[in-house]
Amino acid sequence: MTTLAREFARFFNRIRFEDLPAPVVMHAKKSILDLIGVAIGGLEMPFPQMVVDYLVSLGGKPEATLLGTPADLKLPALHTALGNGICGHALDMDDGYRFGGVHPGVSTIPAAIAAGEVHRADGKALILGTVLGSEIINRLAKAMNPSHLNRGFHTTGTLGPFGAAAAAGKIYNLDETQFARAFGLAGLQAAGLLEILHDGAMSKPVHPGKAAMAGIFSVELARRGARGPETILEGKKGFFTAMADEVDQEELLQDLGERYFILEQYTKLHAACRHVHPAIDAMLQLKKEHKIAFDAIESVHVSTYPIAISFCGSDPCPQTGEAAKFSLPFSIAMAAFFEDAGMDRFVEETVQNKEIQALAARVTASSEEKWEREYPDKRGASVEITTKDGKKFWMDVPLPKGEPENPPTQEELISKFSSNAAKMPAEARDKLISVIMELENHTVSDLTDHFHF
């Protein structure tokens, strides 16, 4: 019997770096650059600090590198995949795929880096692993959502183990059968609940971190002979049945090897939930075009698609920086105040800012049929600002900056990286950028040598 896991395994086993089109290779390098930058920035957050401290205290077999640790320290690959994945999601600035409601890079890339160190892989292997991880995550996410999300699952956590297993499995040079079994083992570890949007937002990065760790674990067991269920996806009690009410499998394997889903991923330029970005873009553009002062704003109304409201529309007064990332009213007010929504804005001082709180209380949000109808082809928002003298300013943003149809420039990507990695000395930061952008000419160890600062 041919299963979906076997079909993916067959393709992943056969493909080589030389098969990748040049734009795919470049996008993968940009994804790696972006993820490492946001992970370095994430080290500043309290929760990653807790995790890193704990993992360092455990010690263990010296296999791979955890970001921000001393140059002479290496830890088990399982632990570095976990820690780097958690750091990579803490800022909520990692890449995503809008048709799947998922962040593919944050579980895939930490697993690939850890596997690459263990196997002394070259940069080409890391690039290929990154591409393959995105391929399976995005295809599954597109097939399962929005039903999967509506059930309360965090897609990044549930599908991340498949991507991490794909990336690590390729670097470990699994054969077709081992690959299929690794996917079965990965699916058994799938987890992630969106209750963290209502309480405990600090711990949301556990999902991709555990997913990255699950990928390494699955591959290590599969190469030792462990058999995960090959029917993990479509089986009677498999992933699809358990975790979604509707699954569209029609395009799941279509154009495999010809259409690369990594090219369809977006880059985040604001440190907030992606569903807030079109409204932030509109607010910033309106303020700039019409020279609207913060203290001139009487009220703001945002019209957007229902999922954005359900994820981010309910709490105008979050109590923590992490929760603020999922508050549309607060994020809009904060963007109006600072005229940006970068990583250093979602902190305790900002959450307690009385001026921002006051405007957030005057930001209303509602779903609009137009945006509901166009979702997920568009992730749009309409923003209307009413000033204290009664003037109204209005703007539509169908797609936020960073989508493949509205991509950031390389200069903007480098600027984002440099901002997130500001704690690094400038010379070390520039060397790290150079290694990543020429990764096919380096080894994974060349990359991780720059993880210490």
pLDDT (tens digit per residue) in 128-185: 999 999 999 999 999 999 999 999 999 999 999 999 999 999 999 999 999 999 999 9
Give the mean pLDDT of the chain.
96
Confidence bin at 300 (pLDDT 50/70/90): very high
Confidence bin at 85 (pLDDT 50/70/90): very high
Q: Which range among 14-18, 36-40, 407-411 shows the weakest confidence by mean pLDDT?
A: 407-411
Share of the chain above pLDDT 70, in %: 100
Q: Where in the chain is the domain with CATH 1.10.4100.10?
A: 4-269+414-448
Burial class (CB in 10 A: 0-12, 13-18, 19+), 427: exposed
For domain 4-269+414-448, the CATH class is mainly alpha
Confidence bin at 247 (pLDDT 50/70/90): very high
pLDDT at 197: 83
| Mean per-residue pLDDT, 57-74 | 96
pLDDT at 370: 95
CATH superfamily, domain 274-397, is 2-methylcitrate dehydratase PrpD (3.30.1330.120)
pLDDT at 322: 86
Confidence bin at 199 (pLDDT 50/70/90): confident
- Taking the C-alpha atoms of residue 185 and residue 129, their distance in angstroms, rounded to an integer, is 18
Indicate if the pLDDT at residue 125 is higher than 90: yes
| Mean per-residue pLDDT, 422-441 | 95
- Taking the C-alpha atoms of residue 84 and residue 40, their distance in angstroms, rounded to an integer, is 9
Q: Where in the chain is the domain with CATH 3.30.1330.120?
A: 274-397
- Taking the C-alpha atoms of residue 271 and residue 304, their distance in angstroms, rounded to an integer, is 19
- Taking the C-alpha atoms of residue 98 and residue 226, their distance in angstroms, rounded to an integer, is 34
Place of tokens 């979050």: 318
pLDDT in tens, 202-235: 899 999 999 999 999 999 999 999 999 999 999 9
Confidence bin at 309 (pLDDT 50/70/90): very high
- Taking the C-alpha atoms of residue 134 and residue 187, their distance in angstroms, rounded to an integer, is 16
Using N-to-C axis directions, what is the helix angle for 176-188 and 4-14, rounded to 10°? 130
Between 452 and 213, the higher pLDDT residue: 213
pLDDT at 134: 98
| Torsion over CA: 322, 325, 326, 327 (sign) | positive
Residue from 310, 309, 327 nearest 318 by CA = 327
Model pTM score: 0.94
Indicate if the pLDDT at residue 1 is higher than 80: no
Q: Cβ(149)–Cβ(198) under 8 Å? A: no
| Torsion over CA: 89, 94, 95, 99 (sign) | positive
287, amino acid identity = K
Place of tokens 């991509």: 407
| Mean per-residue pLDDT, 82-94 | 96
Share of the chain above pLDDT 90, in %: 92
- Taking the C-alpha atoms of residue 142 and residue 425, their distance in angstroms, rounded to an integer, is 40
For residue 309, what are the contacts with CB-CB under 8 A and spacing of at least 6? Answer: 328, 365, 366, 367
